[in-house]
Chains A and B, each alone.
Chain A
Amino acid sequence: MPARRTSALTAIVVPILLLAGCSTATSTAPAEAAGEPRSGGTLTWAIETEPITLNPHQYAQAKARLLVWNSFESLLTYDEQGRLVPWLATGWQAGADGLAYTVTLRDGVRFTDGTPLDADAVKANFDKLREEGYAPGVAAVQLRNLKAVEVVDPRTVRLVLTAPDVLILDFLASPQGALISPRSLREATNLKAGGLDVVGTGPFILDRYLPGQELHYKRNPDYDWAPPTASHTGPAHLDGITYRFLKESAVRVGALTSGQVQLVEGVPATDVPLIDGHPQLRLIRELNSGSAFSYYFNVSRAPFDDLRVRQAFREAVDVPTLLTAVYQDTATRAWSVISPASPFYDKRLEGSYGGDAAKANNLLDAAGWTQRDADGYRTKDGKRLTVRLIQAAPFVRDRRDVLAQAVQAAVKQSAGIDLKVSLVDQGTAVKAFDTNEYEVFENSRADTDAGAALNLLLHSAGGINRTRVHDARVDELLEQGQATADPAARADIYAQLQQVVVAEQALVLPLYAPADQIAASNTVGGVRFEPTAGVPASAYDLWIGQ
């Protein structure tokens, strides 16, 4: 029961630390340290999650993303506006029928083992990704429409598709699409686990890994191919950086306030005043892209097979009140299944539903849940209006367990709905989902292209379609969104989809937009988030001021 322990621990420790800080100032510190970027020095950054693998092809943890880009890079990346821009590529061209993409490569790029980056190296990566048993998730989802990779000339590769698929470009900008040296692909002792002998082209070189403790990167002195989104060019400012794994947020914050580390990520809401009130520290925060943190209603069983009950559940929850209670004023309310940070977010949904207890009760009366039992819960035909929310402990973060309790109390009080919350291990959760023994599923995904998240969550053949919705219109919109190249047209398609899913069918209760926080010492400059993804960026732009 590690998760339970952790939450109990946070509850106990936070007051201790707040006492230690004892400040009520709420002024926001400057976003940047004073002075000009300078070269040299090393930093220690306390991070929450130790990566399961250091091989970017096997990447599966959003919390590990900031590590990937230190030593690995992709062909494309996203800018602040959510547009794709070249990185290790110089450009790309879609075929007229959308069935091929020609990518030209930047000249003079070398992997840190000396191997040049050329078309053969790109092809070697794609071939490896499609090799049986190497990266089944990538092969089955991101690359499912990829037919072949052709080497046109040393600086040009062509990706041939079986069906039009704009998400292949998102893949080229993703950690799984990062390029590994062909020599590492051939010779690494533990390719799938990654390690010191699995190298990329990045601004840093991994030179120490102590499992359970820390990772250390040193500067790549030959680096000269920064993406256009970076704030400088040439080698990184820092000589090196250490990432220390500190799972407990209280310990991370304590290490920062006592000067033992200069940066931390993952700052709980309760510690925000402590950072804000500290003269030598500052806190920056950014919304993640992808899908918002939402409750998904299982429409394949009663009671959520009834639209009115789904709507009633949403009306029964006053989201802003709950967010304030659980996260103080640090959470951003979500209105759609898509994060407000995504270019596809449909603003029209804002204010269109929710928080109307009278409406919730009318809807439930109309749906036949008219009786009340001794405990005050609604019943119909002698059966209580009970819905089960399954939380898998390994994925519970951001105090989602506490938020669930708040929702539980709210729906009981305002509409007589019995929300049963189970915090269970991963195996039990998966079993409940597989056997359809749940009514509510909670999830957020940090995909850079929200379309990728929606494909998994809402398509009738999606890998995590836990609403169990099978709707031809939803499927069609998702498929159109994946096949349409023009961003404005895509945004239009996804707007229609959001109207169907959120407004018309009430399949989800969007709660908040996931965000990442970095707390940093004021001596550290260049602290930034990765554009569009909204997660902490790599160490490339970091520097130490006077």
Chain B
Amino acid sequence: MGRVQLRAVLRRVAAGVVVLWVAATAAYLAVLAAPGDTVDTLIGDGADTPQIRAAIIAEWGLDRPALLQYLDYLWRLAHGDLGRSYLLQRPVAEVIGEQLAPTLILSLAAATLGVLLALIIAAVTAGDRRPWLRRLSSGTELLLVSTPPFLIGLVLLSVLSFRLGLFPVAGDAGPRALVLPAVTLALPIAGLLAQVLRDGVDRALDEPFVLTARARGLREGVVLARHALRHALLPAVTLAGWLFGTLLGGAVIIEQVFGRPGLGQVTLTAVTGKDMPVVLAVVTLSAAVYVVVNTAADLVSLLVDPRLRRS
């Protein structure tokens, strides 16, 4: 039994490493294929002379063949050396190190809030107990899912910060500054998750085991929480990967709107500036988190669904 488990873990780790390699390579190729070259973007709209070009090329070793540069990147990546940012002239590890925490805090707060909201909404509106509330809720969810996050953010800012002065507009000074960005990011997540969850609960409520539970005299709340919701969780858990992508993508915009530090800003600048070392580091890091999140989701599925454990 132990050996089987160990082998499963090893297989997972190996698959993870392959995913990381593919992600880093894809990012490298994408940046390489994007128009323009690094020297051009480093020069920007400033003076462009052969002398300046030569100096930049020499500084970053850009005259080496692309394959060699790629292998060099990989070699250093494997040794934990993320290199130096072309644009910022600083070690990438330092840049990412100082920006990681704000993004993680924002993402975790938004994810927690989004999932909590979705659970509450699904529990309250599932079934046919309150049809008017259900209609209102699903309409609102659709609105939230289809509204761009920056618009939600700006509306929240205009009302709650600029008009009422309840929350500060910018910075990560204290938990109060976290509220608006986290809510902005959480609302679309809550919208979609609530729909998936309610759908699952609805289906579960039609199952014979719910009838059995009711027949045993359990209260409707207990039936919902212990039986129906648990069933509905499974499809929702598989959305973890999607959730993670939404968080990262949303963070880019939210950080810009709210003037928050974070990886989103760094990534945006790096991609538009063809800052290869930063792009590669962020992609590899994201892929690593993705692998961890998906593995965690699989484990949670095992816990939630006994059928998977048996097979």
Contact = CB atoms under 8 A, between A and B. Distances in A.
Interface in A117-163: 132-133, 136-137, 139-141
B49 A212 contact: no
B170 interface: yes
Given A52-B87, A140-B52, A193-B89, A213 B46 contact: no
B260 A213 contact: yes
Contact of B99 (A52, A211, A392): A211
Contacts of A443: 45
A246 B98 CA distance: 19
Given A214-B171, A248-B257, A463-B47, A257 B88 contact: no
Given A133-B58, A425-B272, A430 B41 contact: yes
A321 interface: no
A141 B169 contact: no
A108 interface: no
Nearest to A465: B48
A393 B272 contact: yes
Interface in A241-260: 244-248, 250-251, 254-255, 257-260
B206 interface: no
B46 A137 contact: yes
Contact of A260 (B36, B45, B169, B268): B169
B154 A12 contact: yes
B158 interface: yes
Contacts of B188: none
B25 interface: no
Given A132-B55, A251-B169, A255-B169, A431 B155 contact: no
Interface stretch (B160-168, B222-230, B285-293): B160-168
Interface in B111-144: none
A382 interface: no
Contacts of A214: 171
A518 to B, nearest CB: 18
A114 interface: no
Contact of A16 (B45, B99, B102, B154): B154
A244 B171 CA distance: 8
A261 to B, nearest CB: 8
B308 interface: no
A66 interface: no
Interface in A318-372: none
A4 B3 CA distance: 54
Nearest to A247: B256
Interface string B46-72: 111101100110110000000000000
Given A16-B158, A211-B99, A244 B261 contact: no
A233 interface: no
B17 interface: no
A482 B52 CA distance: 21
Interface in B12-60: 34-37, 40-41, 43-49, 51-52, 55-56, 58-59
A212 B255 contact: yes
Nearest to A443: B45
Contact of B256 (A20, A139, A248, A427): A248
B40 A430 contact: yes
A491 interface: no
B258 interface: yes
A254 B170 CA distance: 11
B47 A426 contact: no
Contacts of A257: 162
A464 interface: yes
B265 interface: yes
Contact of B163 (A20, A136, A426): A20
Contacts of B172: 213
Contacts of A248: 154, 256-257
B259 interface: yes
B34 A427 contact: yes
A192 interface: yes
A424 B34 CA distance: 12
Given A258-B162, A443-B45, A212 B262 contact: yes
Taking each of A9, A12, A139, A428, which has the highest tally of chain B beta carbons within 10 Å of its own beta carbon? A9
A311 B243 CA distance: 56
B1 to A, nearest CB: 49
B61 to A, nearest CB: 12
Given A5-B253, A245-B259, A426-B41, A137 B47 contact: yes
B53 to A, nearest CB: 8
A425 B36 contact: yes
B183 interface: no
B150 interface: yes
Interface string A386-399: 00000011110000
Interface residues of B, number: 59
Given A193-B88, A456-B47, A213 B272 contact: no
A464 B45 contact: yes
B105 interface: no
A60 B163 contact: no
A429 interface: yes
A35 interface: no
A141 B49 contact: yes
B295 to A, nearest CB: 30
B179 interface: no
B151 interface: yes
A17 interface: yes
A214 to B, nearest CB: 6
A52 B89 CA distance: 9
Contacts of B196: none
Interface in A8-39: 9, 12-13, 16-17, 20
Interface in A230-245: 244-245
Interface in A440-476: 443, 456, 462-464
B283 interface: no
B231 interface: no
B256 A426 contact: no
B41 to A, nearest CB: 5
B108 interface: no
Contact of A427 (B37, B55, B161, B252): B37
Given A213-B171, A255-B170, A393-B272, A247 B259 contact: yes
B150 A5 contact: yes
Contacts of B58: 132-133
A53 interface: yes
B259 A427 contact: no
Given A190-B90, A193-B88, A395-B45, A434 B40 contact: yes
Taking each of A17, A132, A260, which has the highest tally of chain B beta carbons within 10 Å of its own beta carbon? A260
A462 B58 CA distance: 22
A392 B45 CA distance: 9
A132 B59 CA distance: 9
Given A137-B43, A393-B272, 8 more contacts: A13-B154, A20-B163, A52-B88, A132-B55, A140-B55, A212-B265, A245-B259, A254-B169
19 contacts: A16-B155, A52-B88, A53-B88, A137-B47, A140-B49, A211-B261, A212-B265, A212-B266, A248-B154, A251-B154, A251-B257, A251-B259, A259-B165, A394-B273, A425-B272, A427-B35, A428-B36, A463-B48, A464-B47
Interface of B: 34-37, 40-41, 43-49, 51-52, 55-56, 58-59, 87-90, 95, 98-99, 102, 148, 150-151, 154-155, 157-158, 161-163, 165, 168-172, 252-253, 255-262, 265-266, 268, 272-274
| The 10 A-B residue pairs with the shortest CB-CB distance in the complex, in nearest-first order | A427-B36, A212-B261, A463-B47, A136-B55, A430-B40, A192-B89, A254-B162, A428-B35, A246-B259, A463-B48
